[in-house]
Amino acid sequence: MATRGRKKKIQPDNAQLVLAALAEERIERVREILGLLHPADIARLLESIPPEQRHPVWALVDPEVAGEVLLEVSEAVRLDLIQEMDSAQLVIAARALDIDDIADLIPDLSDEIIAAILFALDKQDRQRLDAVLSYPEDTAGGLMNVDTVTVRENITLEVVRRYLRQRGELPEHTNSLFVVDRSDRLIGILSLGKVLTSSPDARVSQVAERDLIKFSALSPDKEVAEAFERYNLITAPVVDENGRLLGRITVDDVVDVIREGADREILNLAGLREEEDLFASVWQSVRNRWTWLVLNLVTAIIASRVIGIFESSIEKLVALAALMPIVAGIGGNSGNQTITMIVRALALGKLNPENMRKLFAKEIGVALINGLMWGGLLGLIAWLLYRNPQLSFVMMAAMALNLLLASVAGVGIPYLRHKFGRDPALGSSVLITAITDSGGFFIFLGLATLFLL
């Protein structure tokens, strides 16, 4: 989504300033503060205040920037704000946006509002919007902006310069022009730097770059984001199966993809179903969080039953109750470190069946060294506390074995979820904690029963 470049003064403590003015019923002061802010800052302000104060503030936002604000806020807050707007306000907000930004907003609107927005657009813009909406949201086609500047290869750079002067304003993030033939097939790109520094008599065909990075309309947005990051792109063309230019992807849209992916990964690791409004109702928050809490409850019961199996052992040697949480806790932390690395590698496309075996062996080695090193230290501490060499050995062995278990689960859980088409991050931290808790208790108490009692 593109936020227009607007020179706005960024003010500190925007929320406090607005809330203070709102409490004093100084409506014009609130409107003045909002008028000084960038749409992204207004979005952050709205996310940071409760709905009972958010709605009056939202009503004072300039309709010309309301669409940009809607694109900047989280999905949960966006739905809340849209419910406060009538059809006319939504149409005004949408019309102030670029076509690709309207496409981002449409999934959250009712059919009635969508129809009103389409009716307000001219024929060309409707066709452009249809072109973007015809592709899935998570593809290059769904991400692209159809506002492009094209030139033919047989004209001179002087003609290009005259064309650009006549056009006046260029689309945002335009650092190059696209060279196409009469059938709109993409031939190459012409950088603005070449237009300005090359001889005016040179033809486009002489200075255009033909070795370029382009994307199919159905390329996944993750693939696009990886390419932008790898090759430091600002814009890139999108073409159909016949090589015809459809639009372009700009770096601001890719930043949104990367940010949304990172947010989703953080939520999934914590077992949250979706991003929630910070001030959502208690019931909404409960619904968002309960799924993995239920699973966590089940695994906690399993862990407690594992401890129950060795109840008699714990009664005979109370030191076991004091030491066993250490084994489980260190195992869970190690497993989460491994999972974080594996999920990131999967997200960046660095893992495949060929290198998986080598990575697995490496993680086993890391776990073994860490287990022996830190297990040895804990064994020494156990000996200093209880003067029991057998207990020290059990502590060291249990730590090493649980870290091995954590490494196997830390690699296996996200990889298997990815292999079967599931999000590798979703609930992985919950699962690894369950495995290392139950496994750690079983290993430690089992070894203690064998060697101490």
Task: Give me the pLDDT at residue 324, please.
Answer: 87
Cβ atoms 269, 428 nearer than 8 A: yes
Rg (CA), the chain: 29
Q: Which residue has the tokens 């706005």?
A: 8
| pLDDT(263) > 80 | no
Total residue count of the chain as it appears in this document: 453
- Closest among 58, 55, 72, 54 to 6, alpha carbons compared: 72
Q: Are strands 176-180 and 245-250 parallel, antiparallel or unpaired?
A: unpaired
Please check the confidence at residue 5 and state whether its pLDDT lies above 50: no
**DSSP code for 187:** E
pLDDT by residue (tens digit) across 351-408? 887 788 888 899 999 999 999 999 999 899 999 988 899 999 999 999 999 999 999 9
CB 337 within 8 A of CB 410: yes
**2 confidence band (pLDDT: 50, 70, 90):** very low
The 3-state DSSP class for residue 9 equals coil
DSSP character at residue 191: E
If you ran DSSP here, which 8-state letter would residue 387 be given? -
Mean pLDDT of 187-206: 95
User: Does the structure show a pLDDT above 80 at 280?
Assistant: no
Cβ neighbour number for residue 8 with a 10 Å cutoff: 15
| pLDDT for position 11 | 44
Label residue 134 by pLDDT band (50, 70, 90): very high
**Mean pLDDT in the chain?**
87
Kindly report the CA angle at 108 between 223 and 54, in degrees rounded to 5?
A: 115
Q: Are strands 186-191 and 215-216 parallel, antiparallel or unpaired?
A: unpaired
Give whole-number Cα distances, 377 to 61, 297, 396, in Å: 60, 32, 8
Q: Put the strands of the sheet holding 245-250 in their side by side order.
A: 215-216, 235-239, 245-250
Closest Cα partner for 131 from 97, 169, 102, 91? 102
Instruction: Say yes or no to pLDDT of 129 above 50.
Output: yes
Residue 325 region by backbone torsions, left for phi larger than 0, else alpha for psi between -120 and 50, else beta: alpha
**307 within 8 A of 314, measured Cβ to Cβ:** yes
pLDDT: which is higher, 9 or 444: 444
Find out whether 246 and 217 touch, Cβ atoms under 8 Å. Answer: yes
Place 316 in a pLDDT band, splitting at 50, 70 and 90.
confident
For residue 12, the model assigns a pLDDT of: 47
Quote the pLDDT of residue 271: 61
